[in-house]
Structure 1
Amino acid sequence: MSLAQRALRNCLGQFASGVTVVTTARDDAVYGATVSAFTSVSLDPPLVLVSLDRRSRTCERLVGAPFGINVLAAHQRDLAWLFAGRGDLAEAPDLSWGDDLAAPRIEGAVAHFSCVPWASYDGGDHVLHVGEVVAFDAPGGEPLVFHSGVLGEFRRPSEGAAWTGSLDGPAHGWAAAFAGHPPLTGSSTGQGNRT
């Protein structure tokens, strides 16, 4: 990694994120990778995105396969390191499947998303996997957080109101203000390379 790449990585690390383990099962084996690059894409249809390093074993096995996204709890720090390749996979926890789940699930996580493939996109040294959510639940708990290369816990503010919704939707007029603007050059409304 060049000095410029390392500096960019350190700068990107200033963005705190949750920590997930993406899981899939292929050929009677379970695969998983720790991923902090996870985001929602759409509510209708329900789509989420994970970005995986092309070199990871899990990335290549995700193509065309159902997958699960497990949002880790603060007490699951060891699992984050394990699925990041810093531990013995023989020590991996038991993974469970439910009747409505498309992929392995890690118990104790604060949220689970069971997905079927929607599309995959080239992301340079990563592949962007978009999945359609077919089942989800949020047992709750305190999430594990990643910031500047360190795993930690989220501290809730002692005062202040919780966020209750977006003000950028059509009902608030924000989107209408940009209706006359042309789309970005090279943008597309298509679904890309659907898997």
Structure 2
Amino acid sequence: MDHKEFRNCLGRFATGVTVVTCDNQDECHGLTANAFTSVSLDPPLVLVSIDRNTKAYHKLKNNRFIINILSAEQQNTALHFAGKTFDKQPFEWAQSEFGYRIKDSLAYIECEPWAEYDGGDHVLFLGKVHDFDYLEGEPLGFYGGKFSKIVQDL
């Protein structure tokens, strides 16, 4: 199978964009991820898929984490956590009981570890939701390997 073409095929599924943050020994870490989904309402569970070859994999293992759902205005924040550097940090931190999250995100979901599953070259982290909040606004979308708008009205 041609992995590049398979990735292009998967890119035809439009998603939102998140930044997953966690604290690790007094250090805050985050990564941009669009492989996120809800799993269960009772108990409240969410899932994020993380590449085994990233630093984030080791930092998330057996650790609490926060899913930050980004707004359309937070594209530079997504790029920052995907590895692009900026002269000035394009976001502000907000602290909570579970660690640091991205201030003014469209939504955040604070989780404790529930389970981890082998996902081939990724690990599927399930988190039990302990707190969340959300704002009204336009979400940041991702389609075909590029940021995009999500149209709410047809």
Amino acid at match of 1:126: H
Aligned ranges for residues 2-151 of structure 1 at < 5 Å? Answer: 4-88=2-86, 91=89, 93-98=91-96, 101-151=97-147
**SS at 2:77's partner residue?**
helix
Q: Per-residue displacement from partner, 1:135-187 (whole Å, max 9, x unpaired)?
A: 001112100000001102212225xxxxxxxxxxxxxxxxxxxxxxxxxxxxx
Q: Alignment RMSD, CA only? A: 1.6
Q: Per-residue displacement from partner, 1:80-135 (whole Å, max 9, x unpaired)?
A: 1110112259725331113xx41321111111000000001111111100000000
Gaps of 5+ in 1: 159-195
Q: Distance between the aligned counterparts of 2:100 and 2:146, measured in 1?
A: 26
Assess if the C-alpha contact under 8 Å between 1:103 and 1:115 holds in 2: no
Aligned ranges for residues 179-194 of structure 1 at < 5 Å? Answer: none
Q: Which has the higher contact order (CA 8 A, sep 6+)?
A: 2
Assess if the C-alpha contact under 8 Å between 1:96 and 1:104 holds in 2: yes
Amino acid at match of 1:6: K
Q: 1:21 to 1:89 in 2, by over 3 A?
A: farther
Structure 1 or 2, whichever has the larger Rg, is 1
Consecutive aligned runs of 4 or more in structure 1 exceeding 6 Å deviation: none
**SS at 1:64's partner residue?**
coil
* Higher strand proportion: 2
Assess if the C-alpha contact under 8 Å between 1:144 and 1:154 holds in 2: yes
**1:156 counterpart residue number:** 152
Amino acid at match of 2:130: V
**SS at 1:97's partner residue?**
strand
Q: Distance between the aligned counterparts of 1:142 and 1:95, measured in 2?
A: 20
What percent of counterpart residues are identical? 45
Q: 1:88 to 1:120 in 2, by over 3 A?
A: farther
Q: Distance between the aligned counterparts of 1:16 and 1:36, measured in 2?
A: 9
Provide the aligned length of Structure 1 versus Structure 2: 154
Assess if the C-alpha contact under 8 Å between 1:110 and 1:140 holds in 2: yes
Gaps of 5+ in 2: none
